[in-house]
Amino acid sequence: MKILVTGGCGFIGTNFILYILKKYKDYKIINLDKLTYAGNPENLKAIENDPRYKFIKGDICDKELVNKLMQEVDAVIHFAAESHVDRSILNADEFIKTNVLGTKVLLDAALNNNKKRFHHISTDEVYGSIKEGKFRETTPYNPKSPYAASKAEADQLVKSYYKTYGLPITISNCSNNYGPYQFPEKLIPLFVTNLIEGKKLPIYGQGTNVRDWIHVDDHNEAVDLIFHKGKIGETYCIGGNCELKNLEITKLILEEFNLEEDQIEFVKDRKGHDFRYAIDFTKINKELGWSPKHNFEEGLKTTIQWYKENEEWWKPLKSKVIPNITRKQNG
């Protein structure tokens, strides 16, 4: 099989490509990535000479390029997205263009080239915030940020192409990922790299916001199962069964550095900050037998160690973190 992976130089896409090429020796991948600030071709340097892998620098909004590439592949796994909430609050334009219009370009190309199999990667943030219980596939959408709204619209577009045109699609909505190669504007890599640099850890509000955390490898194993065995037209929620307050994660990170809580700096809360996310992954567990394998504390330790051992990877990227985000984090 030959797969078009969009956004493969980003955090989750990078790990997915490495996972797939390791697992399926007869698969080939074309990686289409625009290389925005968060896309780093160095992530995949280890496989750049692998004949099964091909990198194309390009925009998913480029209709001619996308249509050409779609003719060469059997399926699409669509990771490419603008994904940082703080940036979407500052300027939503690129989020609408990439996440909505870019998704439509891909859907049209898949539809017009023999209805290619299409898997769409989405987020739990489309559901908004939940005080009690957990998100499931039937939870109504209630996005609170421009980022979440753009992903919600993309999800609905994907669903409409199945219902209207019969395009063979699946969608996955996942909770907060962590692991290697994550751009250092997100909570865990920002805090880890800040401590390595001797900087404070800025927490929104009082750090009481709750997130459900999942290791990127567990997420990609779930995507693999959905892509190959999921029911066409269906959505699957992927969660880590690991709800933690931002302050709790911060304390765990400090423990790994043998540092005290005086490294914490509470900052003004983000606009429209969702209080709690939680995922019910019963559907994918029952239908496909998936459940997360990584223990969070062990996964966090290995992730911290990766950033300690790969300063040459993340240090150049810290300069791309916009100034008002260096004192915040996207929880």
- Where helices occur in 73-125 by DSSP H, the ranges are 85-90, 93-95, 103-112
What tokens were used for 135? 């998100």
Q: Among this protein's residues, is 124 annotated catalytic?
A: yes
CA distance 234 to 288: 13
Candidates 33, 53, 82, 147; catalytic one: 147
Residue matched to tokens 């690991």 = 242
| SS3 category, 12 | helix
Q: Residue type at 110?
A: A
- Classify strands 169-174 and 235-238 as parallel, antiparallel or unpaired: parallel
CA distance 35 to 14: 12
Candidates 59, 86, 125, 155; catalytic one: 125
CA distance 299 to 327: 25
Go through 261-282 and write b for each residue having 16 or more CB atoms within 10 A of its CB, e for each that does not: eebbeeeeebeeebebbbbbbe
DSSP 256-295: HTT--GGGEEEEPPPTT---B--B--HHHHHHH-------
Q: Among this protein's residues, is 236 annotated catalytic?
A: no
Q: Among this protein's residues, is 147 annotated catalytic?
A: yes
What tokens were used for 95? 């989020």
Candidates 33, 59, 124, 274; catalytic one: 124
CA distance 133 to 129: 11
| SS3 category, 55 | strand
- Beta bridge partners, 121, equal 172
Catalytic residues: 124-125, 147
